[in-house]
Amino acid sequence: MKQADEQHLQAIRKNDRPGMQRIYQDFLPRISRLIRQNGGTTEDAKDIFQDALIIIFRKASEPGFRLTSGFYTLLYGVCRNLWGNRLQKKSGNEVSLPEDYKYKAEPGMGTLIEEQEETKVFWDAFQRLGEDCQRLLQLFFAKTKMAAIAEKMGFSSVGYAKKRKFQCKEQLIKLVKSDARYAELAKKA
């Protein structure tokens, strides 16, 4: 582990004010960009960032905790996972992967990396969607009403917007399931 990674962990464990300020200064802009690129706001990014630091604090305080990646890699993965979960809750679970397609992980540091990989598979597949599908699903994740989605996307009707949402969702599921990492995660479930 790099010395800087250990310093970041110690700052979190001890709630060291200058150390925490450095973490915010170094990493919040990158996390904010991630969240904003995936349908969130700057305020969402701040909330996710703080939640992630709390999770890392709890994990780092457990006996036997060992950082197996860079600090930023861990922080990024936790933030990405938290944001994916928030989008899933906002959407009422309609656009995210159905339960039988998802890898289930038990809470704990050992499975945190696997959860991060699951989230990465989802977002990588999402990035491979066409721009219109990405935009439609982001609007849907943000709980935009179908009538407003139809208007913003320039669709002729709400019915067509619903049809496109379904098609985009199916395409996303197909992309996720075609990823070799998904097959590996499914084997572990």
- Domain of residue 132 covers 102-189
Model confidence at 106: pLDDT above 50: no
In CATH, what number is assigned to the domain containing residue 138? Answer: 1.10.10.10
Q: What is the pLDDT of residues 163-172, one digit of tens each?
A: 999 999 999 9
Domain count within the chain: 2
| 16 phi-psi bin (left φ>0, alpha ψ -120 to 50, beta other) | beta
Identify whether residues 85 and 118 lie together within a single domain.
no
Instruction: Determine whether 150 is exposed, middle or buried from the number of CB atoms within 10 Å of its CB (0-12, 13-18, 19+).
Output: buried
Identify whether residues 1 and 86 lie together within a single domain.
yes
Examine residue 38 and state whether it is found in any structural domain, yes or no: yes
- Taking the C-alpha atoms of residue 138 and residue 19, their distance in angstroms, rounded to an integer, is 35
In CATH, what number is assigned to the domain containing residue 50? Answer: 1.10.1740
Give Cα 110 distance to the centre of its chain.
18
Identify whether residues 61 and 143 lie together within a single domain.
no
Q: What is the pLDDT of residues 37-89, one digit of tens each?
A: 888 899 999 999 998 988 888 888 888 888 777 888 888 888 988 888 888 77
Examine residue 39 and state whether it is found in any structural domain, yes or no: yes
Q: What is the pLDDT of residues 132-182, one digit of tens each?
A: 998 898 888 878 899 999 999 999 999 999 999 999 999 998 998 888 877
Report the predicted TM-score, pTM, of the whole model to 2 decimal places.
0.50
pLDDT at 103: 32
Identify whether residues 113 and 74 lie together within a single domain.
no
Residue with tokens 């969702």: 169
